Chains A and B, each alone.
Chain A
Amino acid sequence: MAQYPPLRLHVPEPTGRPGCATDFSYLHLSPAGATRRPDVDVLPVDTQDLAYQLIRVLDEDGTAKGPWDPKLAPDFLRRGLKAMMKTRAFDARMLIAQRQKKLSFYMQCLGEEAIAVAHGMALEQGDMNFPTYRQQGLLLCRDDISMVELICQLLSNEKDPIQGRQLPVMYSYKRAGFFSISGNLATQYIQAVGWAMASAIKGDTKIASAWIGDGSTAESDFSTALTFAHVYRVPVILNVVNNQWAISTFQAIAGGEHTTFAARGVGSGIASLRVDGNDFIAVHAASLWAAERARRGLGPTLIEWVTYRAGAHSTSDDPSKYRPADDWERFPLGDPINRLAAHLMAIGHWSAEEHEATQKALEAEVVAAQREAERYGSLLDGHIPSVASMFEGVYKDMPEHLRQQRQQLGY
């Protein structure tokens, strides 16, 4: 008789599949205002409790509570709300444009707008983000990036700043602190650490912000980045956007079961926070805390942003095949736009009328931007960057073999 029963392979499953309801109790939420706010010079080991709690400011009634409320000016919050609404309006319109086959591909960030927008508004000019493909809010929260130019990239037209070389949404905006997006997941996480090391090597005061999703934390570059960030006490913010899903794969398959992604940071000797990603004020407050810590040379911070990927993974994805259709409605942290709007209304700085008027104005703005961008062509009508430009930029100067290949093509 065997002393032990046969071993079994454990394969995590989400509680909710199509046709049934997700049990969100696995999220381990803390009430708004309940989580402490340590000094920015806290030792990483002393953030262990924070890695398993949730920093939240806005409660169910839209009231700001607790030590993480930075008491932001209403005008600032209104700007944030508008930037989130702009991001969502942009996404909605581009989704339609993809369905109309004007774009080959699109990825929205529905439900995650607060994270990129509130974080972007916490950084300074000269800081560098190393985003994934789902941080368009970092660009759309800025006044110096025109939607027309973004749409030109999406259309791969004659005014595409990256000359039609990349898939839609793979933007690059050095001047806006937005590093060139790569299709290869997690690669930018360690690059952000390197960029911030460079800032430290040169005695600069700029910091880097690294971005990754829950699924990609399983890539080796995630662990590598944590090691380097810790070893060299790097001025970097390591953001993990836990939207619960990596395409069809629940975050438990990425290693999230019975633990948190913030906890990985503490294990690597990095101060770590776990934050309500749908709470604009909490996102901004935690980002400011981490930025201050980095800028004062106190080292890196890892922040797990708990949110929900409300939309499809991309325009090539159908989430109804693997998760409940009403999942977002039941997600306990709600909708970041509704929550900030409710707060602003509660303090008398926003109204339903203003909300609706802003919504309409933003929709009109996106439509106008799209119309202008389409004037410069698209994949559809063949007005794309010159074919000869395909050979440029592989190297700084074009080598002989590429010159010959360009000639073979008739250019």
Chain B
Amino acid sequence: MTMIQALRSAMDVMLERDPNVVVFGEDVGYFGGVFRCTEGLQAKYGRSRVFDAPISESGIVGTAVGMGAYGLRPVVEIQFADYVYPAFDQIVSEAARLRYRSAGDFTAPLTIRMPCGGGIYGGQTHSQSPEAVFTHVCGLRTVMPSNPYDAKGLLIAAIECDDPVIFLEPKRLYNGPFDGHHDKPVVPWSKHPMGEVPEGYYSVPLTSAAVFRPGQEVTVLAYGTMVWVSAAAAAEAGVDAEVIDLRSIWPLDLDTIVSSVKKTRRCVVVHEATRTSGFGAELVALVQEHCFYHLEAPIERVTGWDTPYPHAQEWAYFPGPARVGAALKRVMEA
């Protein structure tokens, strides 16, 4: 399956298993989503389970919070992560806080899916990576898969989770893996082992990282598209890097990170999002706190620049394998 098919399969499985699961968002129903992630679901489950919503992000998330309070398990879509901001109040002030402020009287077991990330000439409002905006919010879980198998398993786990989950989908990976070499043709998921996805139910636990590429010399902490870029960069730079795919950005799998850094004694953090106060800063702080006496070099960050995401300058902005590779070499020489 492609990542699109895997995500659709996860929703199909959960719509089938749990009558309280409902799926809605802009263009999600009849049309099946602008990225085809919900294609065929309305025809299969009916309009009361899968439906189109007005163009109102706060309305989509706000109604989902109310549905969660009733006892449903809404899976809603924000068409692009760049457009989640009108729903910010409902996510931060309501979904994230409802269990806490009511001492469990009411809960918000919702999943908010949103395509994120750049590398597609999406310009300012079709390329953003707003994960740090959510990781800072207590009460939320923030998740981002990097391949079809994880996408389905993590989405099923997110839907089953009783906490609100921000589910970020790197749209650059929807149809095939992408290592940052934009000049090369895209290889579809059908040609990749991670495109092999079981038809039925399975889940990938939240708060579990995966070692994407084992290595001995330096630990790379990444998620989403940057997992692929980092692995390519390591191979091209000739550095035996251990690339860890966080999968769950927050809360995260600290043990996997710490044991890797203690082994390699070096660390590079890679994300597409802008640098300052990005999630990388939290990762750097955690590694510094937990691995200080094991570190042989300063922790490096390779990220998007502190600018809005540009259109024409896409590949100067996107942290590609050359920039990641240079950082790997720097930490090895430090």
Contacts and interface: CB of A to CB of B under 8 A. Distances in A.
Given A191-B94, A195-B69, A396-B163, A179 B101 contact: no
A178 to B, nearest CB: 9
A57 interface: no
Interface stretch (B85-93, B218-226, B326-334): B85-93
Question: Which interface residue of B63, B93, B94, B141 has the most chain A CB atoms within 10 A?
Answer: B63
B104 A198 contact: no
B56 interface: yes
Contacts of B22: 201
B71 interface: yes
B70 A187 contact: no
Contacts of A198: 66-67, 70-72
Contacts of A197: 63, 66-67
B104 A192 contact: no
Nearest to B90: A187
B163 to A, nearest CB: 5
B54 A221 contact: no
Given A193-B66, A194-B67, A399 B251 contact: yes
Interface residues on A, range: 35 or more
Interface in B189-241: 207
A163 interface: yes
Contacts of B86: 220
Contacts of A396: 99, 107, 161-163
A48 interface: no
Question: Which interface residue of A162, A191, A202 has the most chain B CB atoms within 10 A?
Answer: A191
A191 B102 contact: no
Given A198-B71, A394-B138, A400-B251, A162 B63 contact: no
A142 interface: no
A393 B162 contact: no
Contacts of A322: none
Nearest to A160: B103
Nearest to A220: B58
Question: Which interface residue of B70, B104, B139, B251 has the most chain A CB atoms within 10 A?
Answer: B70
A201 B48 contact: yes
A399 B97 CA distance: 15
A227 B55 CA distance: 10
Nearest to B104: A393
B163 A180 contact: no
Nearest to B100: A393
B173 interface: no
Contacts of B58: 190, 220-221, 224
B249 interface: no
A182 interface: yes
A170 B105 CA distance: 13
A331 interface: no
A172 interface: yes
A384 B35 CA distance: 51
Given A194-B67, A198-B72, A394-B138, A172 B101 contact: yes
A227 B105 CA distance: 28
Contacts, number: 137
A165 interface: yes
A208 interface: yes
B62 A395 contact: no
Interface string B110-123: 00000000000000
B101 A194 contact: no
Interface string A213-237: 0000000110011011001000000
A166 interface: yes
Contacts of B54: 227-228, 231
A360 B141 CA distance: 52
Given A184-B89, A190-B62, A221-B62, A162 B102 contact: yes
A328 interface: no
A130 B161 CA distance: 25
B140 to A, nearest CB: 9
A170 B101 contact: yes
B64 A174 contact: no
B66 A190 contact: yes
A393 B62 contact: no
Interface in B248-298: 251, 254
B105 A162 contact: yes
A174 B106 contact: yes
Contact of A401 (B59, B97, B98, B251): B251
A55 B165 CA distance: 45
A227 B94 contact: no
A180 B101 contact: yes
Nearest to B22: A201
A172 B66 contact: no
B90 A190 contact: yes
Given A166-B101, A221-B89, A221-B90, 10 more contacts: A165-B100, A187-B94, A190-B62, A192-B66, A193-B62, A194-B65, A201-B22, A201-B67, A396-B162, A401-B254
The 10 nearest A-B residue pairs measured at CB: A194-B66, A194-B63, A190-B62, A198-B70, A191-B66, A180-B102, A195-B66, A172-B102, A224-B59, A399-B251
